[in-house]
Each structure stands twice: as C-alpha cells, then as structure tokens.
Amino acid sequence: MGIKLVALDVDGTIAEPSKPVKKDIAEKLQNLEGLGVKIVLASGKNTSYLSGLARGMGIKNPLLVGENGCVIFDPVEMREIKLAERPVEISTIESEVVNRFANSIWLQPTQVELTLFPKVKKALPKLISRVREIVKPFSEKVVMVEHEDAIDVLPSGIDKGKALAKINRLYGIERENVVVVGDSNSDIPMFREAMSFLIVGNKIGYCEGAKRFSTIKEALDFVEGLM
C-alpha cells in the first residue's frame, strides 16, 4: 500500500483538547512527511490556528482543513479554498447567541462556521441545550456539531470528507493511498475518501472497516508499518 496522504483530526486525536502535542508524536509526523507523505490537519479550528500548530510540530508542507471542512488552506502556496460562503442563517444565529450569552461565551474567529466556547466549561451542557433551540428553525440550512468543549454551527452539506475529496482531486491522490486518523463522529465522513480509517479512543461506536487504537502513538506506529 503506497501511502501518499495522512489526514488527522487534532483535538482528541493527535492531542487532548487544550494540551500540547507530545514530542514523539510530532516527530512521527515529521518522519512521515520526510518519506513523502502529505500531512493534512482537519479540525473545527480555523486555518490560522492549524497553520501555527503545524509549524510548531515541524511539519513543513501541511495542508489544512479548518472549520470542519468549510475552508482549505495551503500555507506554503498561500492558497485558500472555501467550500461554502457563510449563509445568512449562521449570521442570524450568531446575533441571537451573542444577544443571549455575550458575557459567558467566546467566539472563535471564523470565516464560515460559527464556533463558540463557554467561558466556564461546566456550563457547556446548558449552553448546548439553549443553542439547539436557536438553531432548530434553521435546521434545513445548518448543522450543529457538539464537542466536549465547544459548539460548531456550519452549513448543511459541508463536512471534513468533502474537503478531503477536494484535496485528493487537487493533488492527484487516489483514495487507496489515503489514511484517515480521527476520534469523533465528525471525522467519519473523511473515511469516504480513504482506504483506511484509524480510530483513536472510544468516542466512535462500531464503524465498519475501521481499525481502533488506544492512543495516537499506536495508530501512527500502524501507519509506519504500512510504509
């Protein structure tokens, strides 16, 4: 199997949320890149954040999928692709959220999706319930994605898999040369565009054809064994 691209989720996959990437994990990604493998970081975070993360890990030529697939960025060529423009419904939802929760939330800078974090983490379950009510009238146009530390609202029909498909086409990479590593349901769409899906942890239930690993190190050891 000739691996040409490895696409990895960030929070919960290559590192725990709000925790640094361990040195040995960064080194494994550097080694894969050195063997000619394209490293893709795919996250709900924006591409500016991901660009800094990739640089800090020593990845020289990453491709970045930000905002859950809404934006693709190549920081070397300074090439940005939006898979969607921000719909008016998300702007309407953002205005309502700010009116209700301005003092208790932080909005991540984004171009397309809406991402909000509670300033007090234990307030997240209550915030999720209230944001669901705001989003419900727009459910045909937007999708709400719930995380352990944040909430994303993005246009319907956009996901990380659509972004990975676009990257594969742009860079001439076939599905059988792609490995995906993730930890949550928002990563599953990428499996459509890959030969192998490696799950880290137990957040995802049964997923036909996927392989499960306890840690990111074990998953990357497996990838190295395929080279």
Q: From CA 53, how far away is CA 58, in angstroms rounded? A: 9
For residues 130 and 172, membership in a common domain is answered with: no
Number of domains in the chain: 2
CATH number at residue 189: 3.40.50.1000
Do the beta carbons of residue 189 and residue 9 sit within 8 Å?
A: no
For residues 175 and 76, membership in a common domain is answered with: yes
For residues 149 and 93, membership in a common domain is answered with: yes
For residues 99 and 115, membership in a common domain is answered with: yes
CATH number at residue 108: 3.90.1070.10
Do the beta carbons of residue 79 and residue 180 sit within 8 Å?
A: no
For residues 77 and 165, membership in a common domain is answered with: yes
Asked whether residue 47 carries a pLDDT value surpassing 60, the answer given is yes
For residues 162 and 51, membership in a common domain is answered with: yes
Asked whether residue 1 carries a pLDDT value surpassing 70, the answer given is no
For residues 138 and 185, membership in a common domain is answered with: no
Do the beta carbons of residue 3 and residue 37 sit within 8 Å?
A: yes
Q: Write down the mean pLDDT value for the chain.
A: 95
- For the entire predicted model, the pTM comes to 0.94
Minimal CA–CA distance to 21: which of 226, 215, 153, 224?
215
pLDDT of residue 200: 96
Range of the domain at 182: 5-83+158-226
Do the beta carbons of residue 141 and residue 84 sit within 8 Å?
A: no
For residues 109 and 151, membership in a common domain is answered with: yes
Q: What is the pLDDT of residues 78-93, one digit of tens each?
A: 999 999 999 999 999 9
Q: Is 127 helix (H, G, I), strand (E, B) or coil?
A: helix
For residues 142 and 95, membership in a common domain is answered with: yes
For residues 168 and 220, membership in a common domain is answered with: yes
- Of 155, 171, 205, the last residue of a domain is 155
Q: What is the pLDDT of residues 110-133, one digit of tens each?
A: 999 999 999 998 999 999 999 999
pLDDT of residue 18: 77
For residues 20 and 79, membership in a common domain is answered with: yes
- Of 100, 135, 155, the last residue of a domain is 155
